[in-house]
Amino acid sequence: MKKFIIIFSVFLFMSLSMSIRSAYADPNPKTLTEGFYRVKDIGLIPNTTYKVRNTSPTGRSVIIIFDSNQQMQEFLRLEPNSPDYLVKPLEFGSIIIIIGGGNITFS
């Protein structure tokens, strides 16, 4: 009986000490500057719709998004301190090209 209580106590302690992780969206938006980016390299989640905005107070930017078949999917010209724009869900092989002096935030 003493052995049973010890074993039961150990399993009870182990089961109560396990933490459960919840899945949630990344609260940190990705900020990108001028350049050539692949979705798989910058850590964006595929098949997710993102809001895009230019957070720079002075620089304008152009965003061009190509899918994995090198076909253009999006072309956006963002003024300084632009509002949020929704972009189509990105594929794992999508390519993002940013031209201009703005800071582009994906959230």
The proportion of the chain whose per-residue pLDDT surpasses 90, expressed as a percent, equals 45
Residue of higher predicted confidence among 23 and 5: 5
Check: CB of residue 84 under 8 Å from CB of residue 67: no
Per residue in 76-104, pLDDT (tens digit) is 999 999 999 999 888 888 999 999 988 99
Per residue in 7-34, pLDDT (tens digit) is 877 776 777 666 555 555 556 788 999 9
Q: Which of 84, 104, 102 is nearest to 44 (CA)?
A: 104
Q: What integer pLDDT is reported at residue 77 of this predicted model? A: 94
**Distances 89 to 16, 32, 47 between C-alpha atoms, Å:** 40, 18, 5
- Helix H or strand E segment including 66: strand 61-66
Q: What integer pLDDT is reported at residue 36 of this predicted model? A: 94
Per residue in 59-78, pLDDT (tens digit) is 899 999 999 888 999 999 99
**CA atoms of 88 and 86, how far apart (whole Å):** 7
Q: Which of 14, 35, 23 is nearest to 101 (CA)?
A: 35
What topology does CATH give the domain 24-106? Jelly Rolls (2.60.120)
Per residue in 42-55, pLDDT (tens digit) is 888 888 889 999 99
Dihedral sign computed on CA atoms, order 23, 24, 29, 32: positive
Check: CB of residue 63 under 8 Å from CB of residue 107: no
